[in-house]
Amino acid sequence: MVFISLRTVNVVTIVILSRGKCGLSEGVTRYLVAMVAADQLVVLFDVILNKIPMTYMPIKVFYWSARVPVCNIHAVVLYGVTDCSVWFTVTFTFDRFLAICFQKLKRKYCTGRSAALVLGTVTVLSCVKNIFWYFMLNRFYSTKITTVLCLTFNRLFSELQLAIFLLIHFLLTPILPFVLILLLNSLTIRHVLVASRARRRLRGSGDGETPADPEMKNRKQSLQLLLVLSGNFILLWALLTVCSVWESFHLYFYSIPPDSLRELGYMLQLLSCCSNTALYAVVQARFRVQLKETVKSPFCLMAKCTRRCLDRINPQ
């Protein structure tokens, strides 16, 4: 029931953002919708079609197939949508970096058409990159594994080859996104602080008071949304990233992260796919208004239908 509720919340968020009534540009709206949609798919393929069946249903009955390599296909789709969720955050960060720091490039590249092109390219590259999982894994589940989908590797690959593949995989997602997001956010914050001081000196009045600056207000609001979303991603992905890198080097360190620590990392990573709605509600006032109207609309419709039925039964 919890995950069904989370999926419902994500769907409501997509509907609200798609209406375009939150005061956001077309490009930003497309990025946010894509991020929520990718998070929705992660919850579907990782929780509903992976964690729940592996925990509560017999493995051989649910997924074992001799003709259709279900676990291989599922792994490709799961890692593909996860990469999309991560790299959509990176592309959104880069888009806001251009919009805030380079006003001349904003009109040319920070548009709805550019956002659609970038999101489509990231989706295709994520799918192509994760096709390798189809060949890296065996066709069947291991009966000894009860929590992770199809983590029995193909014996055709040596341990060194597997370690290199896993290292490259986790370098691309999410270590490289971590570095890019931190770098872009640092440059964006630096630019906003420098520009804010410069505009304050230019607009400062003789009595020491600074008049309102709509341009800097818009920049700060955009920066606030950027930092909240990217900071949420970094905080909730950090533990799983550490565990993944640790596990990739276990052949050299002769140790692996504790199961409890890794499960906590998975939990936090999945939580990042469900927290965007709350973050939008905190940061965007217009989103809160639209969310209240969306929540109240079914009850208003029911009340309206009830009044009409009562009026027909008891006409005055």
Instruction: Tell me the pLDDT tens digit for each residue of 207-223.
Output: 444 556 676 777 777 77
Average pLDDT over residues 231-255: 75
Bridge partner list, 137: 153
- Phi, psi torsion values for 156, nearest 5 degrees: -70, -20
Please give the average per-residue pLDDT across 132-147, as a whole number. 62
pLDDT at 8 over 80: no
pLDDT mean over 262-284: 78
Q: Which domains does the chain have, with CATH numbers?
A: 2-283 (1.20.1070.10)
Task: Please write down the long-range contacts of 158-162, taking CB distance under 8 Å and 24 or more positions apart.
Answer: 159/251, 160/251, 162/136
CA atoms of 102 and 112, how far apart (whole Å): 17
Name the phi and psi angles at 314, rounded to 5.
-120, 75
pLDDT at 30: 93
Over residues 295-300, the mean pLDDT reads 82
The structure's pTM equals 0.83
Give yes or no for residue 142 having a pLDDT over 50: no
Cis amide bond preceding 53, omega within 30: no
Tokens of 183: 């770098």
pLDDT of 185 over the 60 cut: yes
